[in-house]
Amino acid sequence: MNNDDLNNKMDVSALPFSQACENNKQPILEVLQTELQGSNHVLEIGSGTGQHSVYFAPHLAHLKWQTSDVTSNHRHIVAWHDAYPAPNLYPPLTFDLTINLRPINGQLNTPYDVMFTANTLHIIGWNLVKNLFALAGDTLQKDNKLIVYGPFNEDGDYTNEGNQRFDAMLRAGNSDSGIRHKEEVVSLASEHHLQLVTTYAMPANNQLLVFQKAK
């Protein structure tokens, strides 16, 4: 299914909808098509509405796409999967960084070689960001990848006024959330043997960071 087919088929009024997912899905896909050429099994952490999964999976038919999120979001993900099924797309696993460091169903027997998460680090608290990287470090094997999409500060400051306003809005709603400093994220990753190998500049002042397990 190509981009036009999916957009034409979609009845967004009948499904949970995130405009941010619609805005960024194509540029993210273009990177994933390059970065995941030799990959087999992706664990998506924080699948949200499920929109990304139903768009990416058919375009990456050579791999398995496993969704995961807290239980309360499963009905949204399943609704999108029912509307746009794909043979390589899997129903969500229960995954809550506040409770466990692994999806509780099946993960121990599943050799994920990629973890992907989009628009999560600035939503969850820093302690949960730490849990996410600990999970990746414990689960991924040498040369496997963790791919993270979202906005980041650099050199201790906002990269633009739009991100500064967005950060203020996030923190007003939840003081534990907020745009993360890229340098702190990279340092955290290195503690778990995850090295930043590529940074992609993305639309709307976002970035896509590709980490690789060093050992």
The tens digit of pLDDT for each residue in 111-155 reads 899 999 999 999 999 999 999 999 999 989 999 999 999 999 999
Confidence of residue 12 (pLDDT cuts 50, 70, 90): low
pLDDT at 6 over 80: no
pLDDT in tens, 192-206: 999 999 999 999 999
* Of 96 and 10, more confident: 96
Total residue count of the chain as it appears in this document: 215
**Listed residue (210, 204, 213) closest to 179, CA to CA:** 204
Q: What is the CA angle 112-79-109, rounded to 5?
A: 20
Sequence letter at residue 172: A
Cβ contacts of residue 86 below 8 Å, gap of 6+? Answer: 1, 54, 57, 58, 61, 65
Cβ contacts of residue 59 below 8 Å, gap of 6+? Answer: 29, 33
Q: What is the CA angle 16-203-82, rounded to 5?
A: 25
Q: Which two tokens mark 77?
A: 């993900």
Pairwise CA distance, residues 177 & 46, whole Å: 15
Pairwise CA distance, residues 6 & 9, whole Å: 5
* Of 7 and 168, more confident: 168
Pairwise CA distance, residues 110 & 23, whole Å: 31
Residue 105 has a pLDDT of 53
The DSSP element (H or E) to which 31 belongs, if any, is helix 19-35
Residue 99: φ, ψ to 5°: -115, -50
**Distance from CA of residue 169 to its chain's centroid?**
21
**What is the CB neighbour count within 10 angstroms for residue 153?**
20
